[in-house]
Structure 1
Amino acid sequence: MSTRHRSLTVIAGAALALGLLSACAPEPAPTPTTTPTQSTEPSASPADSPSESPSSSPTSTASIPTECTDLGSEASRQEMVGDMTLQSDGQGFVRPAPEGSTLVLGCDWIVGDATGLLVLISTAAPDAVTAAVATLPEEGYTCQVSDDFGAQFCELPGSGPDTEEFVVARDDVWIYYAPVNRNGRAFLSDIASQIFG
């Protein structure tokens, strides 16, 4: 399946997949030693094996918002997702990410059948971020250093200008950004400027 098709499928099916996962209650264990945070049952959902680990991650020095409603500027956020519904916190999506990364903020907005935006902001060791950026051209991304905020800016073209996927990475921060059927470049620029200064 192509990356473009997978992006549309994931956004459109995210709410259904999360509903199915939340309906599966774990069976009682004889000695409760851990608290499960995600289903370990096999699933046909594309969210069955997240690429990001919730384990150790360095403390980021960047200014990462803690709420989806605080991303970017009010004007660009309203223009991009003002008519959309926030469907999930982005947990479980399989997207390019550095090894050992931790998802700090995930936002999955949807409106209608095939319009939405997925934002996943993660932190990882800086060398892991650098190594992950180096693998993106193999997946079809074109990368360059952005003059605006001094980060690696990588773009994966979609079927049109409004179905692209982007990765913005600098130091220990990794931003995955995928608009579907809406031009989201202004909002991404605001988010990157907000985080990297």
Structure 2
Amino acid sequence: MPKNTAPFLLLATVALVGALTACASDPAPAPAGGTSSVAESPTTAAPPADTAEPIATRTLPAGCDEVGSDASRDAVLADLTLQGDGADFIREAPDSAAYVFGCDWILEEVAGVLLLISDVDAADAAAHVSDLAAQGWTCEETGDETICTTGDPTAGEPVSTIVSRDETWIFVDAYNVDAEPLISDLIAQMWS
């Protein structure tokens, strides 16, 4: 039959609390006219404030019906129907890309716009942009972001656009639609 260990645990707990309380008590006061035998720890200065500029924060659209501006949505998406979030689409992106937002608009098999936004490692994004340029994508730095495009709409090809900024990777694939006004407004919306 097991022994009742409750009295032992209670006694051990009281002893432990007593020992910890004794360790945490204030040091004895210094004798009159003398010095204390307890050494004071040196005061450390606060670390210097970080003077580096913070990375611009982004704001994701609240939903697909709020991407860009009213004018750019009307110009680009007026004839298209939202099909979903596009999360399962394969896209051109660095290995570190993690999907955070997306929209897939189509007009039957005639036209469409796929928008996918991912978080990425900034170094991976920069290396991937270099790879895109080597693969024939046209890449241009436009201030805070790099924009790369490929595809020829006059030859019936979709136009793929990538916007890389800090830790954000935006992929847009447009077929028989000029998505540039929507992309421009999205950039302004996310980093204004």
Deviation for aligned residue 1:140 = 2.3
Q: What CA distance in whole angstroms lies between the structure 1 residues aligned with 2:64 and 2:142?
A: 24
Contact 1:103–1:121 (Cα < 8 Å) also in 2: yes
Q: Which runs of 4+ in 1 moved over 6 A?
A: none
* AA matched with 1:121: I
Unmatched tracts of structure 2, length 5 or more: 1-55
* AA matched with 1:102: A
Aligned to 2:175: 180
Q: What CA distance in whole angstroms lies between the structure 2 residues aligned with 1:86 and 1:66?
A: 15
Say whether residues 1:195 and 2:182 are aligned partners. no
Identify if the C-alpha distance between structure 1 residues 74 and 159 changes in structure 2 by more than 3 Å, giving closer, same or farther: closer
Contact 1:66–1:105 (Cα < 8 Å) also in 2: no
Q: What CA distance in whole angstroms lies between the structure 1 residues aligned with 2:159 and 2:180?
A: 10
Q: What CA distance in whole angstroms lies between the structure 2 residues aligned with 1:131 and 1:112?
A: 36
Q: What CA distance in whole angstroms lies between the structure 2 residues aligned with 1:128 and 1:196?
A: 21
Unmatched tracts of structure 1, length 5 or more: 1-59
Normalised TM-score (structure 2) = 0.65
- Residues 82-161 of structure 1: pairs in structure 2 closer than 5 A: 82-147=78-143, 150-160=144-154
Q: Write out per-residue CA displacement over residues 69-101 of structure 1, whole angstroms, 9 at most, x where no aligned residue.
A: 111001111221122111121112111112221
Q: SS where residue 165 of structure 1 aligns? A: strand
Q: SS where residue 133 of structure 1 aligns? A: helix
Q: SS where residue 78 of structure 1 aligns? A: helix
* AA matched with 1:113: E
Provide the identity percentage.
33
Q: What CA distance in whole angstroms lies between the structure 2 residues aligned with 1:94 and 1:139?
A: 18
Q: What CA distance in whole angstroms lies between the structure 1 residues aligned with 2:161 and 2:58?
A: 19
Normalised TM-score (structure 1) = 0.64
Contact 1:99–1:132 (Cα < 8 Å) also in 2: no
Say whether residues 1:71 and 2:67 are aligned partners. yes
Deviation for aligned residue 1:159 = 4.0
* AA matched with 2:177: R
Question: Which structure has the larger Rg over C-alpha atoms?
Answer: 2
Deviation for aligned residue 1:141 = 0.7
Q: What CA distance in whole angstroms lies between the structure 1 residues aligned with 2:151 and 2:78?
A: 24
Number of residue-to-residue matches in the alignment:
137
